[in-house]
Amino acid sequence: RIDYPHFNRANCKFEMGDWDGAIRDYERALQFNPGHPSSHLNRAFTYQKKEEHAKALEDFQVFQEQSGGIAPPVREMRSESFFALGRDEEGMKDFYKALDHERAGKALYVKLIDLHLERGELKEALALSKRALKVYPEDQELKLKRAECFVRADAPALAWTDLDQLEDEKEEGNASYFFLKGKILDSLHRFSEAIEMLQKSIYLDPEDLESRLVLAAAYFKTKMFEQCLETLRQAKNLDK
């Protein structure tokens, strides 16, 4: 049996952002029926909102035991608590198990590629981008991600091949597209073209710090020292 009044009221309080009230009502629902998996799961999500990740993981564990398993979207959510507690390997394990599911969406691939890039794991990010493109071979965003991996891995020719296929990103004004092209052109010592691409990237994403730093370096290499100093000043203001 389920204590629907408290469970439903807890769900309403969750939607309203009343995390403490939601937790109290989930606890009342669990007093009535300690074996109700959804109460544990929803309370885990609520603990995550409060950044009480150790408690969230306890509820995720109970939910998994009572349900006999854990669905890929729940694994993805649980990984956030693992990462928040510095338990990165367990977080990555959850991510990859979610990815192995046949209904894993493109967004999960992108999220995991970004995570590898943040951790400096270029080999893993590149392998995953290639895997993702086997599932979604014409996806523009994934091609852009693979190009980013190639740029970071110092393989500009391969990155350029991907970028040349991304006319939609160019037409739609994707800042990452122009940043990556600018970075490649800079590495090829084609500084004037690099500056043009990086200026477009900054125009489209004024808060992008990395584009400004690469642009400042390109200005310096072309002896445009005033522009270099001004760009560095802007970057410093963004970094505050």
- Report the interhelical angle of 4-15 vs 37-49 (nearest 10°): 20
Q: Kindly tell me if the per-residue pLDDT of 3 is higher than 70.
A: no
What is the predicted pLDDT for the residue at 33? 86
Q: Does the pTM exceed 0.75?
A: no
What is the predicted pLDDT for the residue at 169? 61
User: Which pLDDT band holds residue 166 (cuts at 50, 70, 90)?
Assistant: confident
> For residue 80, how many C-alpha atoms fall within 13 Å in the half-sphere facing its CB?
18
Q: Kindly tell me if the per-residue pLDDT of 2 is higher than 60.
A: no
Q: Kindly tell me if the per-residue pLDDT of 113 is higher than 70.
A: yes
Q: Kindly tell me if the per-residue pLDDT of 104 is higher than 80.
A: no
Q: Using CB atoms within 10 Å of the CB of residue 81, give its burial: 0 to 12 exposed, 13 to 18 middle, 19+ buried.
A: buried
C-alpha to C-alpha distances, 180 to 69, 84, 175, nearest whole angstrom: 41, 30, 9
Q: Using CB atoms within 10 Å of the CB of residue 101, give its burial: 0 to 12 exposed, 13 to 18 middle, 19+ buried.
A: middle
Which DSSP symbol is given to 157?
A: H
Q: Kindly tell me if the per-residue pLDDT of 171 is higher than 90.
A: no
Question: What is the longest distance spanned by two Cα atoms in the chain?
Answer: 75
Q: 41-85: per-residue pLDDT in tens? A: 999 999 999 999 999 999 999 999 998 888 888 998 999 999 999
